[in-house]
Amino acid sequence: MAGGTDDDGLSPATRLVTAGRRREWTGPAVNPPVWRASTYLYESCAEQQAGLPVNEDGDFHYGARGGPTQWALADALTALEPGAAGTMLYPTGLAAPAMALLSVLKAGDEVLVSDNSYDPSRSIAKSGLRDYGIAVRFFDPLDVAGLAAMIGETTKAILLECPGSLTMEVCDVPALAAAAKARGLAVLMDNTWAGPTGFQAIRHGVDLSILALTKHVGGHSDLMLGSVTATAEYYPRLRKRSLLLGQQAAPDDCALALRGLRSMAVRLERSTTSALAVAEWLQGRPEVAAVLCPMLHGTAGHELWQRDFTGGCGLLTVVMKGRDAAARNPLACHPRGEPGQTVGAHGGDSTPDWPQLARRGRYDRVP
């Protein structure tokens, strides 16, 4: 991937193939073995009691706190976000934003959610959080001053996504984060699109960086995983709430994710190149009304993408002319583009939808 080196002199691509390989977890093997265990045994009762107050990766306690396979993946993901204190893993990508939000919010609080967020994340906010007495409002991610004006006494966090789902809008993450932090808010961001090799969220002001590992990290359409990487201020709260609610990822899925990490830079570079070629071709097609791809020169958000991002991925949005089912068919039913519900893995998936409805009006008509 594009981009320079980090503080330790390693490029993100090099870190992908070296992180998470601590000798105490791998032994003589190149990769950590798959540790399947619910129960760990101690030499004595005194040793068991001495370990009870310790709650950190690397300390054997019980399977719910993970083992070397999970710890290795969490360690690798933390290394990919300079400035991060730790990473928690979850059994699905959707569990990650849910736990991130629950770790910084309580009854009576309010969260402001980017109006172009991933649909399931919006559902968590509208239905899940409101059921727990947490207020939710949506804001225009392209209006920094508007966000600042919305922050009230009970507002405790904002949830960003960049680029926005379907709309591919690129928001000014550092500016939005600065406006939120000036009022003491936690800044959460779904960073699945570019991932930490293409956008180092914490360096740009984010406190909790959310990934659906199912997609680019897994890379092969055969696992379900999520993660949240947090700063020192928020990681203890994230860990405490996640373990309290019994959140942990399966070691077999973590081993697959570690495998996927090693080739992710090459896969993303190739998919980004292919996406740009496809986007340029689509711009000349008579069936196409618009191509939404921030990596494409001259498109909306391209300047911000160039400023803040060092990479991208193969996901883009194509707006077809017409609003009926027939307008969806040319791409969704193409023999090389089977309809599916994920990205970053199979390589030819397409998800028919209406990007112009992914903003105000479609999702927020709830009591």
Give the residue among 332, 335, 337, 334 at the shortest CA–CA distance from 348.
337
- Report if residue 8 sits inside a domain: no
In a shared domain, residues 200 and 94: yes
Whether the pLDDT of residue 114 is over 90: the answer is yes
CA distances from 70 to 3, 73, 132, 169 (A): 28, 5, 30, 34
State how many domains the chain has.
Answer: 2
pLDDT value at position 308?
97
Structure confidence at residue 324 as a pLDDT band (50, 70, 90): low
Structure confidence at residue 47 as a pLDDT band (50, 70, 90): confident
- Report if residue 117 sits inside a domain: yes
In a shared domain, residues 154 and 280: no
- As a whole number of angstroms, the distance between CA 124 and CA 101 comes to 9
In a shared domain, residues 202 and 240: yes
- As a whole number of angstroms, the distance between CA 60 and CA 288 comes to 56
- Report if residue 111 sits inside a domain: yes
Last residue of a domain, one of 235, 260, 285: 260
pLDDT value at position 333?
46
In a shared domain, residues 227 and 305: no
pLDDT value at position 361?
39
Q: Residue 327 sits in a domain of what CATH number?
A: 3.90.1150.10
In a shared domain, residues 139 and 204: yes
pLDDT value at position 350?
55
Whether the pLDDT of residue 224 is over 90: the answer is yes
Relative orientation angle of helices 68-79 and 251-282, to the nearest 10 degrees:
40
Q: Residue 91 sits in a domain of what CATH number?
A: 3.40.640.10
Q: What is the pLDDT of residues 352-363, one digit of tens each?
A: 555 555 565 333
Largest separation between any pair of C-alpha atoms in the chain: 74
Q: What is the pLDDT of residues 241-267, one digit of tens each?
A: 999 999 999 999 999 999 999 999 999
- Report if residue 215 sits inside a domain: yes
User: Positive or negative, the Cα torsion across 213, 129, 154, 138?
Assistant: positive
pTM of the full structure: 0.89
In a shared domain, residues 250 and 269: no
Give the residue among 347, 309, 363, 345 at the shortest CA–CA distance from 93.
345
- Report if residue 158 sits inside a domain: yes
In a shared domain, residues 160 and 290: no
- Report if residue 11 sits inside a domain: no
pLDDT value at position 362?
39
- Cβ distance 146 to 114 under 8 Å? no
Give the residue among 184, 183, 192, 188 at the shortest CA–CA distance from 173.
188
In a shared domain, residues 234 and 281: no
Whether the pLDDT of residue 366 is over 50: the answer is no
pLDDT value at position 305?
97
Give the residue among 168, 184, 177 at the shortest CA–CA distance from 203.
177
- As a whole number of angstroms, the distance between CA 308 and CA 81 comes to 14
In a shared domain, residues 220 and 277: no
- Give the domain range for residue 334: 264-357
Query: Would you list the DSSP string of 162-231?
Result: SSPTTT-----HHHHHHHHHTTT-EEEEE-TTTHHHH--TGGGT-SEEEE-TTTTTT-SS----EEEEE-
In a shared domain, residues 140 and 188: yes
In a shared domain, residues 255 and 268: no
pLDDT value at position 336?
56
In a shared domain, residues 91 and 219: yes
